Amino acid sequence: MADREVSVVLPAYNEADSIEHTVSVTLETLAAFLPAGSFEVVVAEDGCDDRTPAIADRLAAADDRVRHVHGDERLGRGGALERAFRGSDGDVLVYFDTDLATDMRHLEELVDSVRVGGYDVATGSRRMPGDEQRREPERGVASTGFNALVRLFFRSPLYDHQCGFKAFDREALFDLLTDVEDDHWFWDTEVLIRAQRAGYDVREFPVEWEPTGDTTVDLVRDVLGMGSQILRLWWQLAVRPRVDRRVTVAAGTLLVVAALAVMTVYLDPRAVLSAMAGADPALVAVAAVVYLLSWPLRGLRYRDILAELGYRERVGFLTGAVFISQTGNLVFPARLGDGVRAYVVKARRDIPYPSGFASLAIERVFDLLTIAALAGGTFLALAAAGVDVTAIGGTEAGAAGRSGRTAVLVAGGVGLAAVAAVAVIVATARSERNAVRATLGRVSDDSYVDYVAGIVERFAGDVQTVADDRRAFAVVGASSLAVWALDVVTALVVFLAFGVDLAPAALVAVGFFAVSVGNLAKVLPLSPGGVGLYEGAFSLIVVALTSVPFEVALAAAVVDHAVKNVVTVVGGVASTLLFNVSLTEAVEESQEVGEAPARE
């Protein structure tokens, strides 16, 4: 049993002008309906840079009913509340906004809903139909849209999820907080939704509310922040529990069957199978050997990335770890295999999960940059050779040509975005100026910017760790180029196995472009290992730029991707046996911890 019956927490960030008045009004209101000594007021000061901490200290020293919980760093609204609640004494935990926008005559009803009414959660409502609801919030459009989306996505019966006027049963709240992930403005909504899903009794009642201060729509907080959090919580509660291995395998199978059914409309499958049967098996075997040579380079590159993060490991072990993670990507959708590598290096070499995920982020950026550079370079080379790549899709090329033009445009867009993003990261790595916060600050002045900027900065910082060291950047970049060059050479050897009649220069140019566009298409995690995406983009580019028949181009794409996937699976199975790793266990473990670094 806690020492106090009721603890009221006041979240405070730079509230020097109002905090003393708010504490005074709160104490006076509580004393009017609670016994003396049965309540406390906790100022949850969240990394303020004004006089709020000094004022809170003075108030706490003058009145034993007041406490001050100080924070040196910003935790965000939800984070500051959670820290203060855990340090409080009350059985009933309450909070409301320090601007006192909600009429304080409702405080007794709020507290007693939990204290004597038996509810686990109580929340005021500025939108609930009733006689006491007199004013629509000034941020009407944004608030209406947000609450409508929450009601739609989560089937919530509540009218106002963000009202800063709530009370909780202590045990119920701490049970909910084990799953709550948001640390800022969405915290209120997430607690309410999780409480409903857990079967707790939630009461909503109308309150008088007078808007003060922030009454405008904020781009970062309202659109980027709150919108993304709705999708994140919906995925966790409604989608992810239903997406098990059986569902993903069934969905993937249906997708492949549908694609094959559509393909038979304009392509004779027997022609593709006939083309595959005519491939030179010796050259296909040579292609497999060429591709196998790229794997030690992958391990070498990963060693260099980890070295920049302060960890030194053997190339052999790291090559096996890459084999295992890439095999996981072939088995599981949405690139879940990427997280397997973080699990392997943690379980077998005790490299912390944050460092494991950071190294993956660095590697992926270099992969994307290298593939985009290969596609862009080949694009320019083809243009210089007189090939009008912008005209792909004319009437002569037909449907395949139009699809090829679309693939070129998509690849070009992804490539330009990748190059631009990495260029910005590299530039800011050599500058003392914080470009992330400066840019976000131009579109928003809300404190949620700190939360969003922190996420962006962590990702940019991972890459800057390597980008700031010119030698490391050059070494990792060179090994990335070698890895993907061998990937292209593998496809070229497969082309030769099909007896494609192209001049050597044209074969090399088209091969580089087709493989690059095919790999860029795999950026979208729509199927395990990008199966189908790669073959489709690869074939369309070849048909659009050459006279190679579609069935031959598709057969070559299928064999090329199959050779790479077979080498990957064989290496992955051997590595899992060598390191005694379970792919299923690794995926489950990495999913659980993969969210933790994002909150640190």
pLDDT, tens digit (0-9, with 9 covering 90-100), for 73-101 = 777 788 889 999 998 989 999 999 888 88
pLDDT digits over 301-344, tens only?
A: 999 999 888 888 899 999 999 988 888 777 665 556 677 788 88
pLDDT score of 195: 95
pLDDT score of 415: 57
- 365 against 380, higher pLDDT: 365
pLDDT score of 422: 59
Q: How many CB atoms lie within 10 A of CB 109?
A: 16
- 381 against 1, higher pLDDT: 381
pLDDT score of 175: 94
Q: Answer yes or no: is pLDDT of 57 > 60.
A: yes
Share of the chain above pLDDT 90, in %: 26
What's the N-to-C CA distance of the chain in angstroms? 32
Which pLDDT band, with edges at 50, 70 and 90, does 350 fall under?
confident
pLDDT score of 61: 92
pLDDT score of 430: 55
Nearest to 292 by CA among 515, 497, 563: 563
Q: Answer yes or no: is pLDDT of 556 > 80.
A: yes
Q: Which of 154-163, 349-358, 414-423, 558-567 has the lowest mean pLDDT?
A: 414-423
Which pLDDT band, with edges at 50, 70 and 90, does 213 fall under?
low
pLDDT digits over 112-135, tens only?
A: 999 999 999 999 998 877 644 445
Residue 89 CA to residue 317 CA, distance in Å, equals 51
pLDDT score of 215: 46
Residue that is written with structure tokens 């392509």 in the block: 267
Which residues, in sequence order, are CB contacts of 361 under 8 Å at separation 6+?
459, 462, 463
Q: Answer yes or no: is pLDDT of 255 > 50.
A: no
- 543 against 17, higher pLDDT: 17
Which pLDDT band, with edges at 50, 70 and 90, does 418 fall under?
low
pLDDT score of 561: 85
Q: Answer yes or no: is pLDDT of 573 > 50.
A: yes
Q: How many CB atoms lie within 10 A of CB 247?
A: 11
Using DSSP, state whether 16 is helix, strand or coil: coil
DSSP string for residues in 341-366: HHHHHHHHH---HHHHHHHHHHHHHH
Burial of 312 (0-12, 13-18, 19+ CB in 10 A): exposed
Which residues, in sequence order, are CB contacts of 90 under 8 Å at separation 6+?
2, 4, 5, 6, 7, 8, 39, 40, 170
pTM over 0.85: no
pLDDT score of 325: 85
Which pLDDT band, with edges at 50, 70 and 90, does 440 fall under?
low
pLDDT score of 408: 53
CA 148 vs CA 162, 240, 335: distances in Å: 12, 22, 32
Which pLDDT band, with edges at 50, 70 and 90, does 266 fall under?
very low
Share of the chain above pLDDT 70, in %: 66
List 169, 188, 367, 487, catalytic entry = 188
Q: Tell me phi and psi for residue 50, to 5 degrees.
A: -120, -150
Which pLDDT band, with edges at 50, 70 and 90, does 244 fall under?
low
- 389 against 492, higher pLDDT: 492
- 588 against 270, higher pLDDT: 270
Task: Give the pLDDT mean for 500-525.
Answer: 71
CA 442 vs CA 116, 435, 449: distances in Å: 48, 11, 10
Residue 211 CA to residue 100 CA, distance in Å, equals 9
- 324 against 398, higher pLDDT: 324
Domains and CATH numbers, the chain: 4-216 (3.90.550.10), 273-599 (no CATH)
- 247 against 63, higher pLDDT: 63
pLDDT digits over 485-498, tens only?
A: 898 899 889 988 98
Which pLDDT band, with edges at 50, 70 and 90, does 531 fall under?
low
DSSP string for residues in 23-80: HHHHHHHHHTTS-TTSEEEEEEE-S-SSSHHHHHHHHHHH-TTEEEE--SS---HHHH
The answer to whether the CB of 46 falls within 8 A of the CB of 73 is: no
Q: How many CB atoms lie within 10 A of CB 457?
A: 16
pLDDT digits over 15-30, tens only?
A: 888 899 999 999 999 9
pLDDT score of 241: 75
Determine whether 46 is an active site residue. no
Q: Answer yes or no: is pLDDT of 264 > 50.
A: yes
Q: Answer yes or no: is pLDDT of 410 > 80.
A: no
pLDDT score of 294: 94
pLDDT score of 45: 85
Mean pLDDT of the chain: 77
The answer to whether the CB of 451 falls within 8 A of the CB of 225 is: yes
Q: CA gyration radius for the chain?
A: 29
Using DSSP, state whether 333 is helix, strand or coil: coil
